[in-house]
């Protein structure tokens, strides 16, 4: 049973913390994401996918609804975020000495772990 609580805690951590990023985008918009997409000659409408990856999927992960699928969506979202936001600076250090991509990479790794092991028994099952 402790493994189930561990899976729940992992889901809650990844989904709950990422949801704050999604709420920020709801409140303040996604213009910076659109600008990054435009700089890469990509259509700006793709930026609206961030609401799926940072709002809908984290909520699904928190409550345990289709956790593997939600985690896979989050992992894809984070991979795209790393590519767009850090592209040429993947191997740089931040101003406090940490790897510049450590936060999005932590979400990515956590989401991949959930996609691989599943969300566990604690949560909604439909």
Does 126 fall in a domain? no
The mean pLDDT of 22-43, rounded to a whole number, is 95
- Domain span including residue 39: 2-117
In this prediction, residue 126 carries a pLDDT of 58
pLDDT at 1: 80
User: Does a structural domain hold residue 122?
Assistant: no
Inform me whether the pLDDT recorded for 124 exceeds 80: no
Q: What is the pLDDT of residue 94?
A: 82
pTM for the complete prediction? 0.92
Quick check: is 33 in a domain? yes
123 domain-assigned = no
Residue 124 lies in a domain: no
Contacts of 122 by beta carbon, 8 Å cutoff, 6+ apart: 4, 5, 7, 8, 64
At 8, the pLDDT band (50, 70, 90 cuts) reads very high
Q: What percent of the chain has pLDDT over 70?
A: 98
> How far apart, in whole angstroms, are the C-alpha atoms of residue 119 and residue 121?
7
In a domain, 20, yes or no: yes
The more confidently predicted of residues 82 and 87 is 82
Q: Is residue 125 part of a domain?
A: no
pLDDT value of residue 125: 66
Number of structural domains in the chain? 1
């Amino acid at each position: 049973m402790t493994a189930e609580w561990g899976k729940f805690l992992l889901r809650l951590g990844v989904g709950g913390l990422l949801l704050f990023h999604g709420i920020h985008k709801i409140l303040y918009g996604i213009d910076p994401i659109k600008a990054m997409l435009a700089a890469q000659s990509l259509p700006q409408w793709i930026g609206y996918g961030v609401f799926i990856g940072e709002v809908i999927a984290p909520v699904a992960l928190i409550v345990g609804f289709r956790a593997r699928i939600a985690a896979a969506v989050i992992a894809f979202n984070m991979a795209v975020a790393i590519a767009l936001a850090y592209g040429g600076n993947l191997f740089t250090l931040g101003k406090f000495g940490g790897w510049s991509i450590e936060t999005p990479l932590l979400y990515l790794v956590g989401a991949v772990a959930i996609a691989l092991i599943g969300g566990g028994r604690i949560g909604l099952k439909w």
